[in-house]
Structure 1
Amino acid sequence: MNIKQYLDSTYLKTAAQANITEEENTEVVKKCIQEAIDYDFKLIMIRPDKVALAKKMIQESNSKVTIGTVIDFPLGDGTLDDKLREANEAIINGVDDLDYVVNYEAFKRGELDIVKEQVLQGTKLGLENNKIVKWIIEVAALDNHQIVQLSALIKNIVIANFSEKEYEKVFVKSSTGFYNTPEGVPNGATVPTIKLMLENSCPLPVKAAGGVRTYEEAVEMIQLGVKRIGTSAAKAIANGEISNSDY
């Protein structure tokens, strides 16, 4: 198993969140991009304002690493126009994967028309530009029934509006890694939540994001059936080490 080709190496902290300067944060991003190139990970996942930097570094290295970014992150409560504007800019800058945050609070309020239209139009924009699209449902904000419902909602929209050959390009993704949970409660992927997602999003692929920090945990997720793993511990996973990473 080439585990590196499942790994979306991730760094999504702003300078303020990392408690460092903008310049220092850019250097951290550069280091993460270079690490993804050196280790030949599947993808480097960074904030939208760093997509052009990643594109430049990857092209200069003649690397096959792809570039992902997050849209309407981390809350997902922007308007449809907000989402599409941000996604369009990332496309212009050379992104490969668009990881949108679903408006999960609107979903929880029963405002399904908002959610359906955002998923439809966001997916349409990505696929029309030959991008991979992922929808982050934020499992830590949902109960099991809601995880089932939201995974199925995304699946049903894709099946109803896009061709079968495009299903593999639209993922359901577990988490942002930024959701605040009570102390000790996971805010990322867990085996039970991933099982629910896999059962209810099929035939769409699933990305397990957050909480996968060791080679063994990554293998377990892959054996369950996930196609991608989002983690800030990609290097440790690839080396068979244990990481104290928070995502």
Structure 2
Amino acid sequence: MNINKYLDSTYLKTANQVGLDEEGNAKVVKGFVQEAIDEHFQLIMIRPNMVSLARQMITDAGSDLEIGTVVDFPEGKSTIDDKLVEAKKAIHDGADDLDFVCNYEAFKKGDIDLVKEEILKGTQIGIENNKVVKWIIEVAALNDKQIIQLTSLIKNVVISNFKEESFASVFVKSSTGFYKTENNLPNGATIPSIILMLENATPLLVKAAGGVRTYEEAVEMINLGVKRIGTSGAKAIANGENTNIGY
């Protein structure tokens, strides 16, 4: 198994979160991008303000590494218009994948129309620009029933409004990796949550993000049916080593 092509090497921390200035944090991002190029990972997942930097590095290297970025990260509470503005900027800067944080709090409050509209419009801007779109549902903030319902809602909006050939370009993604849980409960992908997503997302694809820390765990996710894995320890996983990195 060429596990590298399943791995989205991820670095989403801000300079403030890691105690660096912007220049220092950009240097860390450059290291992640270069590693992803060297290791032939599928994609580098970075913050929107780093997309242009990564695109230049990839172009200079003649690499086919793809760039993913997050939209309305990490809480997903912005207006639909704000989400679309951020997505358009990411497309302009050279992103290949747009990972939107779904407004899961609005969903939990019963504002289903708002969630449907943002899924429709966010997916539309991605598909129209030949981008991959992922909807982060934040499984740690949801119970099992809500995971099933929100995954199904995303699927139903997509299959009702887009052509079948677009389905493979839309994912349901488990987590941001930034959600604060109580009592040290997992804040990323777990086997039970991923199974629920897989059972209810088809024909859309599923990305497991956060919590995958070993090669064996990654293979288990892939064998379940996951098509992409987000991790900040991609190289360690690919080399069969354990990683203690949170995401």
* Normalised TM-score (structure 2): 0.99
Q: Kindly provide the amino acid, as one letter, of the partner of residue 44 in structure 1.
A: I
**Partner residue in 2 for 1:23:** 23
Question: Partners in 2 of 1:136 and 1:148 — Cα distance?
Answer: 13
**Partner residue in 1 for 2:73:** 73
Tell me whether 1:207 sits opposite 2:207 in the alignment.
yes
Give the drift of 1:19: 1.5
Q: Where do 1:62-101 residues align within 5 Å?
A: 62-101=62-101
Tell me the matched-pair count: 247
Percent identical: 66
Question: Partners in 2 of 1:211 and 1:8 — Cα distance?
Answer: 13
Q: Deviations over 1:122-151 (max 9, x none)?
A: 000000000000000000000000000000
Question: Partners in 1 of 2:220 and 2:184 — Cα distance?
Answer: 21
User: Greater CA deviation, 13-22 or 80-89?
Assistant: 13-22
- CA RMSD in angstroms comes to 0.5
Question: Partners in 2 of 1:66 and 1:94 — Cα distance?
Answer: 9
Give the drift of 1:94: 0.6
Structure 1 residues without counterparts, runs of 5 or longer: none
**Partner residue in 1 for 2:40:** 40
Give the drift of 1:21: 1.4
Q: Which runs of 4+ in 1 moved over 4 A?
A: none
**Partner residue in 2 for 1:60:** 60
Partner secondary structure for residue 157 of structure 1: helix
* Normalised TM-score (structure 1): 0.99
Partner secondary structure for residue 208 of structure 1: strand
Partner secondary structure for residue 29 of structure 1: helix
Q: Kindly provide the amino acid, as one letter, of the partner of residue 77 in structure 1.
A: K
**Partner residue in 1 for 2:117:** 117
**Partner residue in 2 for 1:235:** 235
Q: Kindly provide the amino acid, as one letter, of the partner of residue 207 in structure 2.
A: K
Q: Kindly provide the amino acid, as one letter, of the partner of residue 158 in structure 1.
A: V
Give the drift of 1:184: 2.2
Partner secondary structure for residue 5 of structure 2: helix
Q: Kindly provide the amino acid, as one letter, of the partner of residue 35 in structure 1.
A: E
Q: Kindly provide the amino acid, as one letter, of the partner of residue 171 in structure 1.
A: F
Q: Deviations over 1:143-175 (max 9, x none)?
A: 000000000000000000001111000000000
Question: Partners in 2 of 1:143 and 1:242 — Cα distance?
Answer: 29
Q: Kindly provide the amino acid, as one letter, of the partner of residue 152 in structure 1.
A: S
Question: Partners in 2 of 1:183 and 1:55 — Cα distance?
Answer: 40
Partner secondary structure for residue 208 of structure 2: strand
Q: Kindly provide the amino acid, as one letter, of the partner of residue 139 in structure 1.
A: V
